[in-house]
Amino acid sequence: MFAEVLFIAFAALSILGAIGLILFRHPMKGAMSLIVTMISLAGLYALLSAELIFVLQLIVYAGAIMSLIIFIIMFLNIQDNDLPIEEGRYLYLAGGIAVIIPIACFMIKVVKSIPAHQATIVGNGFGGVKEVGLVLFQDWLLPFEIVSLLLLVALIGAVVLAGKRRLLK
C-alpha cells in the first residue's frame, strides 16, 4: 500500500517534470524540471529494488550530466533575446500531441497485452553492486569494454569540437 502511494507520487512528479521541460521557454527552468523527473525516476528505481541503478541515476544523471548541462547553460549566459522566438510553439505542441497519440495508444496497447505480473519478493542481493558487477564483468565484458572506447571517442570528439581551431576558416 505504501509502495503504491509512493509510485503514484513519483509517477506524477516525473510526468509533471517532463511537461515542465517541454513548456518552459528558458532552458534553465526546463533543466530544473528535468532534474525533478530524474530524481523521481531514481525513486522509482528504488521501488523496483534496483539499488545500484538508483544510486547511479542520482550520481550520474541527476548529478553529473544535469549539472554539466546547467553549467553550460550558465556558461553561455543565455539572455531572453538569445532564445529563438517560437511563435507557433503551442500550435506545434497541439499538432505534436495529435501525432503522438496514435503512437502512445499503440505502445500502451502493447503494454496491456503483456500478461499481468504481480511483483514477487526478490532475493536479498537483487540489484546490488556485487550482483550487477558479476553479470557486467562476466556476460557483458566485451560490450563494457566497447562502451569505454565509446566514452574515449566522445571525449576526444568533444575536445576537437569545442576546442580552439584554426582550420575552420
Partner 1 sequence: MEQTANYLGLIPLLPLTGALVIGLLHMLTCTKKPLPEKLYSVLACIGPLLSFFMALVVLFQLKNMAPEDRFLSHIPFTWFAVGELHVDMGFLADPLSSLMLVFVTFIGSLIHIYSIGYMAGEENYGKYFAYLNLFLGAMLILVLGNGPVVMFVGWEGVGLCSYLLISFYTKDTDNVLAGNKAFIVNRIGDLGFVLGMSFLFWAIGSTGFDFLSLRENAHLLTPGIGFAICLLLFVGACGKSAQIPLYVWLPDAMAGPTPVSALIHAATMVTAGVYMVARFSFIYSHFPSAGTIIAWVGILTALLAAIFGMFQKDIKKILAYSTVSQLGYMFAGVGVAAYSAGIFHVFTHAFFKALLFLGAGSVIYALHHQQNIWKMGGLKAKMPITYATMLIGALALSGCPPFSGFFSKDEILFMALANGHPGIWFIGVLVAGMTAYYTFRMMFLVFHGEARDKQAYDQAHEPPAVMTVPLIILAAGAALVGVFNLPGIFGGSMSVSNWLAPSLVEHHPHVSIWLEIMAIAASIAAVVIGITIAYKKFGHGAEEPEFTGFAKLGYHKFYVDEIYNAAIIQPYKAIGSLISRFFEPNVTDLHVKFSTWLYTKSGKAFKVFQVGYVRIYAIYMVIGLSVMSFFLSQSIN
Partner 2 sequence: MIQDYLILSVILFCLGILGVISRRNVFTVFMSIELMLNAANLAFITFSRVHESMDGHVMAMMIMAVAAAEAALALAVVILLHKHKGKLDTNVFSLLKG
Kindly list the residues in this chain that would bind partner 1 in the complex (CB under 8 A).
96, 99-103, 105-107, 109-110, 113
Q: In the window 93-112, what residues touch partner 2 (CB under 8 A)?
A: 93, 95-97, 99-100, 103-104, 107-108, 111-112
The listed partner (partner 2, partner 1, none) that binds 109, CB under 5 to 8 Å by sort, is: partner 1
Q: Which is nearer to partner 1, 101 or 146 (CB)?
A: 101
Question: Whole-angstrom Cα distance, residue 1 to residue 9?
Answer: 13
Q: What does the DSSP 8-state code read for residue 150? A: H
CB of 34 to partner 2, least distance (A): 5
Partner touching 56 among partner 2, partner 1, none, CB below 5 to 8 Å by kind: partner 2
Dist CA 88 CA 84 (whole Å): 11
Binding footprint of partner 2, residue count (CB under 8 A): 83
Contact yes or no for 68/37 (Cβ under 8 A): no
DSSP letter at 58 equals I
CB 70 within 8 A of CB 31: yes
Least distance from partner 1 to the Cβ atom of residue 93, Å: 12
Local structure of residue 126 (DSSP, 8 states): T
Binding pattern for the stretch 40-69 against partner 2, x by CB under 8 A and - elsewhere: -x--xx--xxx-xx--xx--xx--xx--xx
Give the x/- contact pattern for partner 2 in 131-160, rule: CB under 8 A: xx-xxx--xx--xx--x--xx-xxx-xx--
Q: Please name the residue ranges forming H helices in 48-88.
A: 51-56, 66-75
| Partner whose binding site includes residue 129, from partner 1, partner 2, none (CB under 5 to 8 Å by kind) | none
Contacts of 76 (CB under 8 A, 6+ apart): 82
